[in-house]
């Protein structure tokens, strides 16, 4: 019997999902095509189950980019309100999948491969009401990833969509 050592990939997502494209994408301008993933990475029902856990009182969602935190504050949106939006998503709301980089924490040194997350992006049109009683449609762009353990939603983007 031969013991074959398990090859561990430096990115935990690629380590468990070998079909994910790698080498590491580039965050440089003009290299956006290296971030594309040609298939939907996550099952929407599984993402929604995690969002439901947030509504059930568990801490099941976290913003992993500074921009996401800023955008949620600009929208005056709590994680519970974000979970409600995620539960409204339908399969047709899917836009694309791509590698996204989580924000680095100052003073914390981490291998670059660990910053990359395979994300699915969705757009969700929501009818909202103005103070004068009139309604309008606001489309949100939501980009997310499950944690390597599959228990937490890692939120990368939550903002008004440029896709209309």
Residue that the structure tokens 């606001």 belong to: 138
Residue that the structure tokens 């929208």 belong to: 75
Cα separation, 25 vs 32, whole angstroms: 8
> H or E element: which one contains 71?
helix 66-74
Q: Could you list the pLDDT tens digit for every one of the 164 residues in the chain? A: 444 556 788 899 998 899 999 877 777 888 888 899 999 999 999 999 999 999 999 999 999 999 999 999 999 999 999 999 999 999 999 999 999 999 888 877 788 888 899 999 999 999 988 899 999 999 999 999 999 999 999 999 999 987 65
Give the strands of the sheet with 116-129, arranged side by side.
36-37, 94-101, 116-129, 135-146, 153-160, 61-63
Angle between helix 44-55 and helix 79-88 axes, rounded to 10 deg: 150
pTM of the model: 0.89
Please report whether residue 72 resides in a domain.
yes
Please report whether residue 26 resides in a domain.
no
Please report whether residue 97 resides in a domain.
yes
| Per-residue pLDDT, 22 | 86
Please report whether residue 78 resides in a domain.
yes
65: domain range?
34-160
For residues 85 and 124, the answer to whether their CB atoms sit within 8 Å is: yes
């Amino acid at each position: 019997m031969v013991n074959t050592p398990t090859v561990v990939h430096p990115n935990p997502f690629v380590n468990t999902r070998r079909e994910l494209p790698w080498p590491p994408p580039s965050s440089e301008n003009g290299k956006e095509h290296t971030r594309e993933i040609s298939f939907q990475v996550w099952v929407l029902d599984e993402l929604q189950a995690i969002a439901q856990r947030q509504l059930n009182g568990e801490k099941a969602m976290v913003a992993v980019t500074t921009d996401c935190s800023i955008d949620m504050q600009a929208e005056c949106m709590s994680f519970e309100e974000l979970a409600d939006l995620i539960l409204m998503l339908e399969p047709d709301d899917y836009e694309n999948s791509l590698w996204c980089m989580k924000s680095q924490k100052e003073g914390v040194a981490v291998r670059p491969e660990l910053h990359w997350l395979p994300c699915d992006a969705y757009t969700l049109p929501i009818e909202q009401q103005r103070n004068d009683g009139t309604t309008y449609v606001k489309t949100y762009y939501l980009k997310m990833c499950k944690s390597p353990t599959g228990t937490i939603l890692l939120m990368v983007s939550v903002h008004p969509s440029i896709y209309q």
